[in-house]
Amino acid sequence: MKKIKIGVFGARRGMDIATYFMMQDCEVVALCERRKDVAQNAMKKLPSTAVLYEDFDEFIKHDMDAVILGNNCNEHAPYAIKCFERGIHVYSECLSNSTMAEGVELIRAFEKSKSIYMIAENYPQMLFNREMKKLVEGGTLGKILYAEGEYNHPGDPFNFKSKKSVNYFPKHWRNFLPRTYYITHSLGPVMWITGATPKRVTAMAAFAPPADDVPTMSYNGDRVAVLMTQNDDGSIFRVVGHSSFGGGMHNSYRVCGTEGQIENIRGMDPKVMLRYNEWNKPEGAETSKLYTPEWNDKDEELIKKSGHGGGDYLTPRMFIECIKEGKQPEHPFDIHSAVTMSSVAILGHRSVLDGGTPYDIPDFHLEEERVKYENDRLSPFYGADGSAPTIPCCSHTDYKPTEKQIQQCLDGMAKED
């Protein structure tokens, strides 16, 4: 079979992903990136036949089968739609859409196309999450009642090298990111493990802005937002978006059923703790068992070397298999699940702003549900055209960094030149 031809949009994260496509016998034929220094460094890692573009519309005229959307987090949907219009498959970084109207447009355009779409959510493929899914499917946990997903990623505010890499100007999307929005690393795994889909969300945030002498360009003083969802099977999720509290980076997941529960242990990756009640545990099982699961995968050595706990290899492999077999990804990597996760993020933030008021999550399979949101363009981000945010990004809506804090960031990044 001929090699799948891949285009990469956005060299920083896009090239991280492309590495794992090339490991699986795909050919990267084109790169689109406006930042000249970033583009030139990326081109050194690609075959000499790869072509560099600055303009996306010219880029997708290149002969390619699929595009990796590794551009700004809040700008994936318009470019996915352009790919759909040309019949190009889409591997989209998260989020799939940053407004409710974009979600409507994305689904409608997809339904007119023959493209395969996959949300590039890699955390479900971490070893402990794969083990949890296996236990749920095995049935010994009983009916699933409750699951937790927690993504915590604090950063050193004085690490100007990091800021320059990922957060390099005051109107950057990261400076206006509500704590509910970067949701797929916590929500995606529990949706995958349990098979459930959120139908209603309520959320609250904890406001704890940095001290006045700490450099920051962020307009969000919240450190964490906790979201609760009621799901289509009656279960409940408790998840956070991108939280930033003390204790270091961690990803924590827990799934509880009528008969048992399983979770990964913070700081003990990839170990899991499996628990049953003494009076109804499966025959031969222990009441509690702490253990390291096995991969049992033909590509185990490559998986172990890849980023995000193996997810950076496994998630592209899933997409490649979909292309070869001519099928759409399964829940929650499909386009409807992707837009559902974005809806939880967007409407969860509105719940924060509304004091925890619950919001129903629309079913984007249904046109009557889409119509309600087709003109809903409220956004906490600056638009690509420079338009200002239309909704606050913080639970304390008048919060903003001081001019001194912003200048400290700019001065610190300038010293990294």
Token representation of residue 417: 């030149």
Beta bridge partners of residue 148, listed in sequence order? 238, 254
Q: Residue 250: pLDDT band by 50, 70, 90 thresholds?
A: confident
pLDDT tens track for 34-86: 999 999 999 999 999 999 999 999 999 999 999 999 999 999 999 999 999 99
The rounded mean pLDDT for the chain is 96
> 3-state class of 228 per DSSP?
strand
Give kind and range of the element (H or E) at residue 349: helix 335-353
CB-based burial, 185-206: b 16+ in 10 Å, e otherwise? bbbbbbbbbbbbbbbbbbbbbe
pLDDT tens track for 208-239: 999 999 999 999 999 999 999 999 999 999 99
Q: Residue 411: pLDDT band by 50, 70, 90 thresholds?
A: very high
For residue 291, CA distances in Å to 146, 190, 272, 275, 284 come to 22, 20, 6, 11, 16
Residue-level pLDDT at 312: 96
Q: What is the pTM of this model?
A: 0.96
Q: Residue 249: pLDDT band by 50, 70, 90 thresholds?
A: confident
Q: Residue 152: pLDDT band by 50, 70, 90 thresholds?
A: very high
Q: Residue 247: pLDDT band by 50, 70, 90 thresholds?
A: confident
pLDDT > 70: percent of the chain: 100
What is the side-by-side strand order in the sheet with 272-276?
A: 288-291, 272-276, 260-264, 250-257, 144-152, 236-240, 222-231, 198-207, 359-360
pLDDT tens track for 274-330: 999 999 999 999 999 999 999 999 999 999 999 999 999 999 999 999 999 999 999
Q: Residue 167: pLDDT band by 50, 70, 90 thresholds?
A: confident
C-alpha 42 chain-centroid distance: 23
Residue-level pLDDT at 1: 64
Number of H helices, E strands in the chain: 13, 15
Residue-level pLDDT at 263: 98
Q: Which amino acid is at 66?
A: A
Residue-level pLDDT at 168: 85
Mean pLDDT of 21-34: 96
Cis status, amide bond into 198, omega within 30 of 0: no
pLDDT tens track for 115-148: 999 999 999 999 999 999 999 999 999 999 999 9
Mean pLDDT of 8-20: 95
pLDDT tens track for 353-391: 999 999 999 999 999 999 999 999 999 999 999 999 999
Q: Are 92 and 120 in contact (CB under 8 A)?
A: yes
Domains and CATH numbers, the chain: 5-119 (3.40.50.720), 124-298+334-373 (3.30.360.10)
Closest C-alpha among 121, 69, 76, 117 to residue 98: 76
